[in-house]
């Protein structure tokens, strides 16, 4: 009998996550029921949204219960199928959680097109949820026009890196915000952003102002808090702010108070929160566009890989601190 191993939620989040929030448990791999598929997870994606699932606050969907396996998207291989649509050996993306094996309804799985030549792990990053988030958030809410200035926070991250590259393709001037010289060098050197501002240098307003001599037309916000507040001082008339993430909000016990919302009125700013699920009926369109850009070498990506299920909590804790460099993954097999 195959042994499953996975992380459950041991304590709700209050403040920063720590290993004490999680518990590693072993159990037999579950046999698939009728219509179900047993999958073996190959790659686990770690994403900031998981922090929201670890609280009892209202969020997009219900949170993880205490004792339940942590939620998460994986790339997996079909081991055993009791669903007519899947056969052993096929590769899928699945909401299979922080564990080695899972039995899931066939309808919950998405087959990976075997003709896609990109590495399997890309289906959790630039060709997966983060890539589609960037695609719809930028195009549907940001609405980039050639010549505009687009600012992206968490610029070296899974979503931010795609936003900037798509913005470049749309003809915008791209200004990233990232933490530290190494990430900034990567953002301008490898990803082709025009400038990258290092927020850790401690002069965000001054440096961002200098990087945006014509002001800011679009801000794709992955962090919230003080960075958003600073951007609000620099936006142009009719600017669009895509609220996609707020990883800075998980640091503090007390939420940061945004003081420059007056700018939304004066500049007739449109600020909108987005969740990729809202475009679920158009995922095919995004997948096709993103895969095309990857194949053409116009969409580059970087992965931060930890080995083994044991390291999953470490990876999520590192995300909050900005320790990851690129899309955070755990390699499981």
Residues 6+ apart with CB under 8 A from 25: 5, 6, 7, 8
* CB nearer to a second copy: pick between 129 and 299: 129
Interatomic CA distance for residues 322 and 185, integer angstroms: 16
* CB nearer to a second copy: pick between 20 and 253: 253
* CB nearer to a second copy: pick between 223 and 291: 223
Closest CA to 325 of 312, 297, 306: 306
* CB nearer to a second copy: pick between 2 and 237: 237
Tokens of 110: 């998405």
CB of 16: closest distance to a second copy in angstroms? 16
Interatomic CA distance for residues 8 and 313, integer angstroms: 10
CB of 136: closest distance to a second copy in angstroms? 12
CB of 91: closest distance to a second copy in angstroms? 32
Tokens of 84: 């007519």
Give the DSSP per-residue string, 187-210.
Answer: HHHTS--SEEEEGGGS-HHHHHHH
Interatomic CA distance for residues 47 and 70, integer angstroms: 12
CB of 72: closest distance to a second copy in angstroms? 19
* CB nearer to a second copy: pick between 81 and 248: 248
CB of 255: closest distance to a second copy in angstroms? 4
Q: What are phi and psi of 331, to 5 degrees?
A: -85, 120
CB of 8: closest distance to a second copy in angstroms? 24
Residues that bind a second copy (CB under 8 A): 52, 58-60, 224, 228, 243-246, 249, 254-262, 264-275, 278
* CB nearer to a second copy: pick between 1 and 265: 265
* CB nearer to a second copy: pick between 33 and 262: 262
CB of 77: closest distance to a second copy in angstroms? 34
Alpha helices in 23-157 (DSSP H): 49-53, 129-136
CB of 225: closest distance to a second copy in angstroms? 9
* CB nearer to a second copy: pick between 16 and 305: 16
Tokens of 282: 């158009």
Interatomic CA distance for residues 238 and 228, integer angstroms: 16
Compute the chain's Rg from CA coordinates: 20
DSSP annotation of 142 reads I
Place of tokens 């899974």: 158
Cβ–Cβ contacts within 10 Å for residue 145, how many? 12
């Amino acid at each position: 009998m195959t042994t499953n191993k996975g992380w459950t939620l041991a304590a709700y989040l209050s403040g920063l996550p720590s290993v004490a929030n999680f518990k590693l448990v072993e159990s037999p791999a579950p046999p698939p029921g009728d219509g179900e598929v047993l999958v073996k997870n190959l790659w686990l994606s770690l994403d900031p949204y998981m922090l929201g699932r670890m609280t009892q606050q209202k969020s997009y969907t219900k949170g993880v219960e205490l004792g339940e396996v942590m939620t998460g998207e994986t790339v997996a291989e079909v081991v055993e199928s009791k669903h007519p649509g899947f056969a052993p050996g096929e590769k899928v993306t699945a909401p299979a959680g922080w564990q080695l094996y899972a039995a899931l309804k066939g309808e919950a799985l998405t087959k990976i097109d075997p003709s896609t030549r990109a590495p399997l792990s890309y289906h959790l990053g630039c060709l997966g949820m983060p890539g589609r988030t960037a695609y719809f958030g930028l195009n549907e809410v940001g609405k980039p026009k050639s010549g505009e200035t687009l600012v992206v926070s968490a610029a070296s991250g899974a979503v931010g890196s795609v936003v900037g590259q798509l913005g470049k393709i749309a003809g915008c001037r791209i200004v990233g915000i990232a933490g530290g010289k190494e990430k900034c060098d990567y953002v301008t050197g490898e990803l082709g952003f025009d400038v990258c501002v290092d927020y850790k240098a401690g002069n965000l307003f001054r440096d961002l102002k200098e990087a945006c001599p014509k002001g800011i037309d679009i801000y794709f916000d992955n962090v919230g808090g003080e960075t958003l507040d600073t951007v609000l001082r620099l936006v142009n008339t009719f600017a669009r702010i895509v609220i996609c993430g707020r990883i800075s909000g998980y640091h503090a016990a007390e939420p940061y108070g945004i003081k420059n919302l007056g700018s939304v009125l004066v500049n007739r700013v449109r600020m909108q929160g987005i969740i990729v699920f809202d475009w679920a009926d158009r995922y095919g369109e995004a997948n096709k566009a993103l895969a095309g850009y990857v194949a053409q070498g116009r969409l580059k990506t970087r992965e931060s890989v930890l080995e083994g299920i044991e390291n999953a909590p470490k990876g999520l804790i590192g995300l909050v601190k900005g320790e990851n460099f690129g899309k955070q993954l755990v390699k499981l097999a």
